[in-house]
Structure 1
Amino acid sequence: MDIETFNCDLLEFLAASPTPFHAVQQMEIRLSQAGFVVLREADDWTLHAGGRYCVIRNSSSIVAFTLGEKSILDQGLRMVGAHTDSPCLKVKPQPELFKKGYFQLGVEVYGGALLNPWFDRDLSLAGRVSFRDTSGNIGSVLIDFKRAIATIPSLAIHLDREANSARSINAQTDIPPVVMQTNDKQTSFRELLLAQIRQEHPSCEACKVLDYELSFYDAQPAAIIGLHNEFIASARLDNLLSCYIGLQAILADSTEYRVLVCNDHEEIGSQSAAGAQGPMLRSVISRLLANEKEFTRTIDRSMMISVDNAHGVHPNFSDRHDANHGPLLNGGPVIKINANQRYATNSETSSLFRHWCESADEPVQAFVVRTDMGCGSTIGPITASEIGVQTLDIGVPTFAMHSIRELAGSSDAYSLYKVLEMFYRTEDVAVDRH
């Protein structure tokens, strides 16, 4: 796959993945087309050497894996991890707000969202809806309005002269999106959702919406921008960009034992049944092995690469970076390091990655947060502590992380894809200790 094809398909993936549910659905489609068999956790599994499989939990987390021809105890697992969720605005259970003839929806802020950029955007709505059908059965479907149906208008500067110097945002009162004008205060959001289900899924015969998990998202599609097409601009680059890179890497042919895990709920701490701090990955790996002793032996020969976006040095705010560790967009993948293990990288895992980058003729950078600033974290330390696997934290450098529209270099994702493809083919991830 060349870089143009890679980036074109990436834009399509981002457009089709407004929520974690849709992202996992897109990954399942691509995996199935490549011969991966979808397994149910409730079933007994019959697995074969050379087989390709995937497991989905909560429709928002996925583990894909391939089985090698040799013994898993000798080869171990090559694992890549990412997360499917992004900061956003989620609709409340009883969201209807009627003010001055406008119909608005109450929202909760999911994760550490940068709120200012949400104003004056064309917003659409997508997610999962549960319903009862005409036969009394309970079902759920994914919906996506796919067009701009709402906005959060800014207050004019004439009415807030301090807007450019002192405005703060009250998440309860300032950000409910405006959906339409109506004088009918009996308007029910669930009735509007029922009409959308019937439009998107007429065969469901839904008669009542019971509940939902819905998120607003920016209706502006992802794009390649810059005078020389240097950048990718999109919502949810953190961290669907990593999901897509890992997906393309595991789709490549290989005879190794490979795993791709994309968890939900990273932005809110990963502590859920579908999150990295939950049992999903350990459960899947355990089913490939006979007992706990084999699990320990396999993990000792394995490695996890946690892929989550890194902070590129911003030209307007370069003082927010350590002067020696300012990753540049289009400067290659970034090794993320933190002495307090907010990232799980150690000197051996970073050395291995540097070696693979050199072997693939790809550049590599490093990120360390300023010593006087706090450091974010990833699924890397969580996965390392949950299953005991040696782990490396890396990512593609980006601007505006957690904004409604983020920016990455147009060559970095493809560069990292080539390195991860090499990692997946690596027979040995051990460092000789003398």
Structure 2
Amino acid sequence: MEAKNVWATYNENQIQELNEINERYKTCLNQGKTERECVALAVDMAERAGYRNIETILAKGTSLKAGDKVYAVCMSKMIALFRIGEKPISEGMNILGAHIDSPRIDVKQNPLYENEGLAYLDTHYYGGIKKYQWVAQPLSLHGVIVKKDGSAVKVTVGEEESDPVFVITDLLIHLAQEQMEKKASKVIEGEKLDLLIGNRPIEQVEGLDKAEKDAVKKHVMEILKEKYEMEEEDFYSAELEIVPAGKARDCGIDRSMVLSYGQDDRVCAFTSLFAMLDVEQAKRTGCCLLVDKEEIGSVGATGMHSKFFENTVAELVALTEGESELKVRRALARSKMLSSDVSAAYDPMFAEAFEKRSSAFFANGLTFNKFTGSRGKSGSNDANAEYLGELRRVMDEAGVAYQFSELGRVDIGGGGTIAYIMANYGMEVIDSGVAVLNMHAPYEVTSKADIYEAVKGYRAFLKLD
């Protein structure tokens, strides 16, 4: 069984739709480089499509009916969108679930220091990264600073042409003999990932001969205070993320691919969101769930292990069928889900890491992973054959190109998604997403054809009876 490159199958209208979806996707990647930015973007898109905040509905005490569209947000980092179906929610939902956090470098809470005339921000990396990939390239700073009075200041530096950028330095090759002999995991160590942000000292008070201590650090704080009305102590209540600077770009002389930061897993998050906003009517309630913290185990209040989704479903059941814990449990157990997460694309430059017959290939369509995990399927959800048969029928009827794969060779590594967490409710779940090259690197690569097929597949799934 061999999947085929789908580019040759498209007609002129399909190519036009493919290009429109990918331009829209690249715009979303540029605007959503952090989980907070992704949620803000999703809220804006949802409200323009007629979705209402569930908090407003609860405050008014109104009920919901078939066709109504609502969303709920958790701590600005997690969002669930629902379109109420014709059937009761207790009969189950069709859920698209993706994560919007990506590997990155975070700024610590007491970060600013000066060392030999250079000012740095102390950092701690987030998620699984090859640390050596993050040095010697332009980086930007995104996030929020929250003051003691509760006011919040948004920070984005390094994305505009007129902005400065930042860098993590590397050792020059002329002096790197010992460094080059280290294991890849030790070439750059975690505490060496500090961000270089300044070198110019604060202007000295006239008449003083002695240079002021930490003059470069003080100049940095002077700039931050002027721009953000920020004191150094405000770092304590700031969330600042370091990501690659620059926009998503077409990749390849044929413009067939997308190169960008954060495509794991925003390629699945945004395609799921597109599909959710496109589908207006269906018998079952549709849901698009975009979550945080997947890269570090889905923990915390905004991760999939939290009760946010379950609590929101309980509110929806109460607003449509009346309050009932049993109906909430039924709704979750009878639901069907695509855990929309990326898969590893076959890379012929590293063929030894893959088993070719069970690999995902660029431009072969939406990828299904029956299981993930590592070695003996450890930590994996393993989807039921009956569910796979149903999905094959749905995708074939909708003309969606798809493929089945595993995450590399057995025993060589592995990974996980949010699928196993949702499966705890007893619902049918399978991993389904877009194949990616350079996964977890500062810049990842996807196929425009696979992005297009993902949107088509997610639309078809949301219409599943």
State TM-score, norm by structure 2: 0.84
Q: What is the CA deviation profile of residues 148-205 of structure 1, one whole-angstrom value per residue up to 9, with x for unaligned ones?
A: 421112211111136556453343442212112134515356664444436xxxxxx9
- 2:4 maps to which residue? none
Q: Does 1:414 align with 2:414?
A: no
Structure 2 partner of 1:371: 410
Q: Is the 8 A contact 1:148 1:219 kept in 2?
A: no
Structure 2 partner of 1:197: 228
Partner amino acid, structure 1, of 2:449 = S
Shift of 1:334: 1.1
Following superposition, the deviation at residue 349 of structure 1 comes to 2.5
Question: Closer, same or farther in 2 for the Cα pair 1:103/1:206, shift >3 Å?
Answer: closer
State yes or no: 1:254 paired with 2:281.
yes
1:143 matches 2:155: yes
Matches of 2:224 and 2:47, distance apart in 1:
30
Helix, strand or coil for the counterpart of 2:316?
coil
Tell me if structure 1 keeps the 8 A contact 2:248–2:260.
yes
Map of 1:131 onto structure 2: 147
Find 1:299's aligned residue among 321, 328, 332. 332
Distance 1:207 1:176, change over 3 A: closer
Q: Does 1:320 align with 2:337?
A: no
Instruction: Tell me, yes or no, if the aligned pair for 2:339 and 2:417 is still in contact at 8 Å.
Output: yes
Pair 1:179-2:212 in alignment:
no
Whole-Å separation in 1 of the counterparts to 2:25 and 2:353: 30
Aligned counterparts, 1:58-97, within 5 A: 58-74=75-91, 76-97=92-113
SS of equivalent to 1:259: strand
* Structure 1 position 214 matched with structure 2 position 251: no
Percent identity, aligned pairs only? 23
- Equivalent residue for 2:43, pick from 13, 25, 28: 28
| CA deviation vs aligned residue, 1:252-272 (integer Å, no higher than 9, x gap) | 112341111111111111111
Q: Which runs of 4+ in 1 moved over 4 A?
A: 41-45, 162-165, 188-194, 205-208
1:101 to 117, 136, 147: 117
Which amino acid counterpart does residue 393 of structure 2 have in structure 1? H
Please, which runs of 5 or more residues in structure 2 have no aligned partner?
A: 1-15, 203-213, 318-322, 372-376
Q: Is residue 394–residue 464 contact of structure 2 (8 Å, CA) maintained in 1?
A: no
Letter paired with 1:398: V
Alignment partners' CA distance in 2, 1:348 and 1:248:
27
| Match in the other structure for 1:201 | none
- Which residue identity does 1:420 align to in structure 2? Y
Query: Of 409, 434, 446, which residue of structure 2 is paired with 1:396?
Result: 434
Preserved contact between residue 302 and residue 389 of structure 1 (Cα < 8 Å)? yes
Displacement of 1:122 after TM fit? 0.9
Number of aligned residue pairs: give it.
415
> Is 1:353–2:394 an aligned residue pair?
no
Residues 102 and 180 of structure 1 are in contact (CA less than 8 Å); yes or no, is this contact kept in structure 2?
yes
Quote the residue 1:310 is aligned against: 343
SS in 1 for 2:174: helix
Q: Which residue of 1 aligns with 2:258?
A: 232
Shift of the 148–353 alpha-carbon distance from structure 1 to 2, 3 Å rule, reads farther
SS in 1 for 2:423: helix
**CA pair 191-112 structure 1, distance change in 2 beyond 3 A:** farther
Contact 1:81 1:307 in 2 (8 A): yes
Looking at structure 2, the residues matched to 64 and 404 of structure 1 have their Cα atoms a distance apart, in angstroms, of 29
1:15 to partner: Cα distance: 0.6
Quick one: which amino acid aligns to residue 240 of structure 2?
A: L
Change (3 A) 1:172 1:299: closer
Q: Which residue of 1 aligns with 2:374?
A: none
Q: Are positions 1:53 and 2:70 aligned together?
A: yes
Q: Distance in 1 between matches of 2:324 and 2:221?
A: 48
- Root mean square deviation of aligned Cα: 2.3
Q: Distance in 1 between matches of 2:109 and 2:370?
A: 40
| Runs of at least 5 residues in structure 1 that lack an aligned partner in the other structure | 199-204, 428-434
Equivalent position of 1:270 in the other structure: 298
Q: Tell me the alpha carbon deviations over residues 328-383 of structure 1, each in whole angstroms, 9 at most, x when there is no partner.
A: 11111111133445144232222222222212222211222422223210011112
Cα distance in 1 between the residues matched to 2:247 and 2:115:
31
CA distance in 1 between partners of 2:119 and 2:24 (Å) = 37
From the superposition, tell whether residues 190 and 257 of structure 1 become closer, same or farther in structure 2 (CA, over 3 Å).
farther
Contact 2:346/2:356, CA 8 A, preserved across alignment: no
The answer on 1:169 being equivalent to 2:187 is yes
Which amino acid is the alignment partner of residue 77 of structure 1?
A: M
Task: Compare 321-330 and 141-150 and name the one that shifted more.
Answer: 141-150
- Cα distance in 2 between the residues matched to 1:251 and 1:273: 26
The superposition leaves residues 111-131 of structure 1 with CA deviations (integer Å, 9 ceiling, x where unpaired) of: 112222211211110012101
Cα distance in 2 for partners of 1:35, 1:377 equals 34
**SS of equivalent to 1:316:** helix
For 1:32 and 1:281, how far apart are their aligned partners in 2?
A: 20
Structure 1 257/267 Cα, relative in aligned 2: closer, same or farther at 3 Å?
Answer: same
Instruction: Identify the range of structure 1 (189-198 vs 179-188) with the bigger mean alpha-carbon deviation.
Output: 189-198
Change in Cα spacing, 1:196 to 1:265, as seen in structure 2 (3 Å) is: farther
User: Per the alignment, in what secondary structure is the counterpart of residue 18 of structure 1?
Assistant: coil
SS at match of 2:358: coil
TM-score normalised per structure 1: 0.89
What amino acid sits opposite 1:321 in the alignment?
F
For 2:71, the aligned partner's letter is C
Letter in 2 for 1:232: V
SS at match of 1:78: strand
> Could you tell me how far apart the structure 1 residues matched to 2:70 and 2:368 are?
29
